Chain A
Amino acid sequence: MNTATERLHEQFDTSRQQLKASKLGMWTFLATEVLLFGALFCVYSFYRFQYPQGYALGSKHTDVVLGTIETIILLTSSLTMALAIRAIRLAQRRTSIALLLTTAAFGVSFLAIHATEYVHEWHEHLFPGHTFDATLRAVSGTEMFFTLYYVMTGLHALHVTIGLTVLLVLVELTRRNRFSPTYFTPVELGGLYWHLVDIVWIFLFPLFYLVSRT
């Protein structure tokens, strides 16, 4: 028999206390995620002020249209994620599953668009290394810009992939009736992770696609 109730671990007195501890733990983990990307944002800032011309030139070679579409996709996926949690609260299980799957579909399309960007950039000789475009290399900082572009968007794409895995597990658990309007902690925590991945992209987008467009 499926039970949509919560198991209270022995160290907690009430399920309310257990929920609070879960959320505090998740936000602590998210703070470490902010700092994981933070170290890279710090490196980015250092070289941006060191090589403004290189960054401006490099940024002109990124695809601003695709970048904007990706931003819209991720922000919309945050909406569907928040609505999926709302649906569980209202005991609308089927709606919640549909919204979680929609969120996952947005995630997959984000990754697909990003993959086409990477392929295109490879053919344009924008990948750092011996194949890197010689005229671009002549301006110092351009190659560093693209190195950070691949490391930071790549690490972000890895996070989207992890988020997708979490979403699919949540879909399966919701399907098995594991959540109810009074207990849905794993969906809330998964949602927090998904939103954080969105927030990272909110900053990556202007820093890589919009350095110098005037």
Chain B
Amino acid sequence: MSNPSVRTLRLYLIVWLALMALVALTVASAYVKLSGFNLVTSMLISAAKTALVMTLYMELRREHGTTVVFALTGFFWLILMIAPTVADIATR
């Protein structure tokens, strides 16, 4: 391999296998009664998948600090928007 910054094929495949395992887990968890925690579970699994795609496939792990902050800002604003909305309905 001429370029040392290139990741191994193995790593990409391991990430893919992990993603497939998480898909299986998402679907399986939906068929199990988790006493109200089904939504939380599926969102946590989705967040794990997103973390894998962002850090390794999108190479965020190798990006400059400023870029990482910019990348996470959108998600932070999203939480700011959704959390109070849900809190409002849940506490009525």
Q: Which residues of A contact B (CB under 8 A)?
A: 20, 23-24, 27-28, 30-35, 38-39, 41-42, 45-46, 49-50, 64, 68, 71-72, 75-76, 78-79, 81-83, 86, 89-91, 181, 188, 191-192, 195, 198-199, 202-203, 205-207, 210, 212-214
Contacts and interface: CB of A to CB of B under 8 A. Distances in A.
Interface residues of chain A: helix, strand, loop or mixed (majority): helix
A98 to B, nearest CB: 15
A13 B71 CA distance: 24
A42 B71 contact: no
B50 A79 contact: no
B50 A199 contact: yes
A24 B67 contact: yes
A181 B6 CA distance: 10
Contacts of A45: 82, 85-86
Contact of B82 (A41, A68, A188, A205): A41
Interface string B60-87: 0001101100110111011001100110
Interface in B20-40: 20, 23, 26-27, 30-33, 38
Given A23-B67, A34-B75, A214-B30, 11 more contacts: A31-B71, A31-B74, A35-B78, A38-B78, A64-B27, A78-B53, A86-B12, A89-B6, A191-B57, A202-B49, A206-B30
A188 B3 CA distance: 17
Interface of B: 1-3, 5-7, 9, 12-13, 15-16, 19-20, 23, 26-27, 30-33, 38, 42-43, 45-46, 49-50, 53-54, 56-59, 63-64, 66-67, 70-71, 73-75, 77-78, 81-82, 85-86, 89-90
B57 A79 contact: yes
A195 B58 contact: yes
A92 B73 CA distance: 35
A212 to B, nearest CB: 8
A147 B36 CA distance: 25
